[in-house]
Amino acid sequence: MASPTVTVLASSKAIIDGKITPATIVTDSATGTITNVYTQLLPATSFPAGTIYRDYSPKVLMPGLVDAHVHLNEPGWRTEWEGFETGTRAAAFGGVTTVVDMPLNAIPPTTTVENLKLKVDAARGQCWVDVGFYGGVIPGNEKDLKDLVKEGVRGFKCFLIESGVEEFPAVSSVDIAKAMEELKDQDTVLMFHAEKLPPISMSVGDAVLHGDAPLAPTGPLEAYSTFLASRPPAFETYAVAEIISAAPLAPKLPLHIVHLSAIQCLPMLKEAQEKGVKITAETCFHYLALAAEDIKDGDTRHKCCPPIRERANADGLWDALKDGLIKTVVSDHSPCTPNLKVVGGGDFFQAWGGISTVGLGLSVLWTEGKKRGVDLCQISKWTSEETARQVGLLGKKGRIAIGYDADICVFDPESSFKVTTSEMHFKNKITPYEAKELDGIVCETWLRGKQIYSKDTGFDESTGPLGALLLEKRQTDTVPIATTLGTPDEEIKAIGLNAAASVIEVVQT
């Protein structure tokens, strides 16, 4: 007899254990998990009569994306920039089933347990996808960090340069040392906005808008070249050097560079990793798909920090991804209202910095990646598996495997669409991808065994937001036992596996 909570998703193409294979995936919405995966395309008759069965061939079944860098901005007055309801709806549109919210630009920032609880209260009942939270490191809050770990934050973020919001100031080397001392034995990750003013600099970036030389930007303020010159690669290399030099203070603590843009940092990262430093890096969709040469003067939709650099720089970031030096790709969705983005005003030094991308990233990455010989398995690794690992969710998110959450993206890589406001489900419809033709369409998004979005029918407004708030402890990696080689009548199950497992229990029924 068919179970009303069981749904079978099948396709001639699915990403299982890093490979494209025919697959039949059994999900249970009661537990929210994947209960079986068959690496063959089984017919509906293989299952009890009445079982909900969907064959998506030849579309690709992918793990739901884990966007490990999103600014949702709620609570506080910046909710008008973005909020949980609109930001997570936009994520679901793009096959993203988990987002991790940054500790700024909400008011108050997530720098204490009290502030985290305000954030969680604001999120309840609004989230279309699952949401995790980062804590923030600012001067003077080092004694709050262990308590935030206990409350379930997925990592910590700090700035080595002013963030642009007064309630989240930059940290000094002394502040970093204090934070590392507190976190050195904790199961977490310390992340850095890695820009810092070198000791001698001709520019202070946004710190001076219209000053006297040599602090003033050297050129027209509406010229993208002027803005790009104001945040040179030296800002990033100087910051990365400081982070690496601090690593011995907490050798077991994972360190992570967010939104790396400058390829000049890559040799430094590689050398540090080869010496055993626990440091990783992410980059963003916009650094891989956009290029300074194409940005028109006055088009402040492209402003972000670090800046979008030249096309040759993007080529180097792609190479670093392929080589495994950069591990993850995220959106860094950082929206604001039109008046702050200065749409039409054109002054790059007055405009708020941030690119709105959540929900568009998979198509952006596929459009650019396939030109470079990148396949969907690689993209899935960068945007699902490794991002889940980064935030301590691997074992639950990021793979199509037995026991994992039934988070599935149904993706049609052969279709394309033009980005209009109807594809922008984030609150403020401002993005540099507007009017661009993107390849690949997310046809459906499934969260823990339930369909939450369909290209044909939209969002399931009758059930509303079903996203959970992820406040459990970080998980250790599990051994990926993802496949069942038999049929439903001669099933092989693997249970209770983790990285230290030495015994696999096999049961035939």
Instruction: For the chain, give percent helix, strand, coil, nearest 5.
Output: 30, 25, 50
Determine whether 363 is exposed, middle or buried from the number of CB atoms within 10 Å of its CB (0-12, 13-18, 19+).
buried
Q: Which residue reads 């910590």 in tokens?
A: 156
Question: Which tokens go with 356?
Answer: 């709105």
Give 303's DSSP letter. Answer: -
pLDDT digits (tens, 9 = 90+) for 345-398: 899 989 999 999 999 999 999 999 999 999 999 999 999 999 999 999 999 999
Q: Which CATH number fits domain 64-396: 3.90.700.10, 3.20.20.140, 1.10.10.10, 3.40.50.800?
A: 3.20.20.140
Closest-CA residue to 4 (of 32, 30, 39):
30
Please name every residue paired with 333 in a beta bridge, in sequence order, or none if there are none.
Answer: 70, 355
CA-angle at 180, arms to 249 and 304, nearest 5°: 115
Question: Which tokens go with 225?
Answer: 């070249």
Can you say how many angstroms the Cα of residue 150 is from the centroid of all Cα atoms in its chain?
A: 23
Contact predicate 352/336, CB 8 Å = yes
pLDDT of residue 482: 42
pTM of the model as a whole: 0.92
**Is the previous residue joined to 105 through a cis bond, with omega within 30 degrees of 0?**
yes
Contacts (Cβ under 8 Å, ≥6 apart) of 437: 367, 416, 417, 418, 419
Question: Which tokens go with 474?
Answer: 């970080």
**DSSP letters spanning 328-366:** EEE--B----HHHHTTTT--TTTSPP-B--TTTHHHHHH
E strand or H helix that includes residue 448: none
E strand or H helix that includes residue 138: none
pLDDT of residue 1: 73
pLDDT of residue 217: 75
pLDDT of residue 342: 86
Domain ranges for the chain, please list them.
64-396
**Under DSSP, is residue 313 helix (H, G, I), strand (E, B) or coil?**
helix
pLDDT of residue 488: 62
Q: Encode 161-226 in three state secondary structure.
A: CCCCCCCCCCCCHHHHHHHHHHHCCCCCCEEEECCCCCCCCCCCHHHCCCCCCCCCCCCCCCCHHH
Contacts (Cβ under 8 Å, ≥6 apart) of 414: none
pLDDT of residue 344: 79
pLDDT of residue 506: 29
Contact predicate 6/28, CB 8 Å = yes
With a cut of 70, list the residues of the chain below it in pLDDT. Answer: 200-216, 476-509
pLDDT digits (tens, 9 = 90+) for 468-481: 999 998 876 554 44
pLDDT of residue 197: 84
- Alpha-carbon gap, residue 77 to 29, rounded angstroms: 36
